[in-house]
Amino acid sequence: MGQLTLNLVAITIFIVTLGMLVGPLVHLPQSVPVVVIAAILGIATLDQTSLNGTLGNLLINGLNRLSGDERDRVLHHEAGHFLVAYLLKIPVADYTLSAWEAWQKGLPGMGGVQFDTADLEATLKTGQLPAQTLNRYCTVWMAGIAAEQLVYGQAQGGYDDRQKFSILWQQLQRPIQEGQTRQRWAVLQAKTLLEQHQDTYESLVAAMSDNLPVTDCLTLLQREIEPPVLGVEIDAAEA
């Protein structure tokens, strides 16, 4: 099971166990907690085996969205991905800001910016990955973390982004310590790009906050950044 679902199951079992202890005081039949636990475990198992953790994602994401601060953090995180991807000429196919929006569009996970990674996948099949291509994608994946650091001083999100990088790094069979160094480098590169385009970044945050279509967001970037440029020498790090 995924960590989110496991956490929910653990919390529920604790609450039900507590209910079993106080149940006799309120004349609650002992069979009720057992049935509740069995039902929750069954739903959790179905969620992981057939729904890829969608129910757990929706529940946790829904609870998080009760906090306006959490939504703003997600918004700034994803806008960082979006802008840096545009600057580094990695096509953005769509974006969502919650698991609910992702589910509505038939996308997996908790939501986020959807990139067109066809060129990366095609390059990996050849067994060769140019340094510039590697650096571009690393910088885009770390851009959400960079955005949070710029706006909030530290990043809370980014676990999935680091996982994507780690999977690629393992495919390349590169040393783990070198990968950690590359991640830190990519965060700094992304932060530089965001700082250089601060006004555009804020405009994009406002557009995404209004849930404008991805095409409108791209039009905004084309209008404010013309022509699209790489922004920094992203192939500066050794591959």
SS (HEC) of the chain: CCHHHHHHHHHHHHHHHHHHHHHHHHCCCCHHHHHHHHHHHHHHHHHHHHCCCHHHHHHHHHHHCCCHHHHHHHHHHHHHHHHHHHHCCCCEEEEECCHHHHHHCCCCCCCEEEECCHHHHHHHHCCCCCHHHHHHHHHHHCHHHHHHHHHHCCCCCCHHHHHHHHHHHHHCCCCHHHHHHHHHHHHHHHHHHHHHCHHHHHHHHHHHHCCCCHHHHHHHHHHHCCCCCCCCCCCCCCC
Residues 16 and 10 sit within 8 Å (Cβ to Cβ): no
* The residue to which tokens 């590697």 are assigned: 134
Torsion-angle region of 127 (φ positive above 0: left; ψ -120 to 50: alpha; else: beta) = left
Per-residue pLDDT of the chain (239 residues; tens, 9 = 90+): 444 555 555 656 666 665 555 556 555 565 555 566 666 666 556 545 554 555 555 555 554 554 568 889 999 999 999 999 999 999 999 999 987 787 777 776 667 999 998 888 888 888 788 889 999 999 999 999 999 999 999 999 899 899 999 999 998 889 999 999 999 999 999 999 999 999 999 999 999 999 999 999 999 999 998 655 544 455 555 55
- As a whole number of Å, the end-to-end CA separation of the chain is 35
Query: ω before 33 within 30° of 0 (cis)?
Result: no
Q: How far apart are CA 142 and CA 124, in angstroms?
A: 20
Confidence at residue 232, expressed as pLDDT on a 0 to 100 scale? 47
Question: In angstroms, rounded to a whole number, what is the distance separating the alpha carbons of residues 142 and 188?
Answer: 9
* pTM, to two decimals: 0.72
- Centre a 10 Å sphere on the Cβ of residue 93 and count the other Cβ atoms it contains: 11
Q: How far is it, in rounded angstroms, from Cα 124 to Cα 172?
A: 9
What is the rounded CA–CA span in Å between residue 146 and residue 213? 24
Partnered with residue 112 across adjacent β-strands are: 96
- Burial of 18-55, coded b for 16+ CB within 10 Å and e otherwise, reads eeeeeeeeeeeeeeebeebbeebeebbeebbeeeebbb
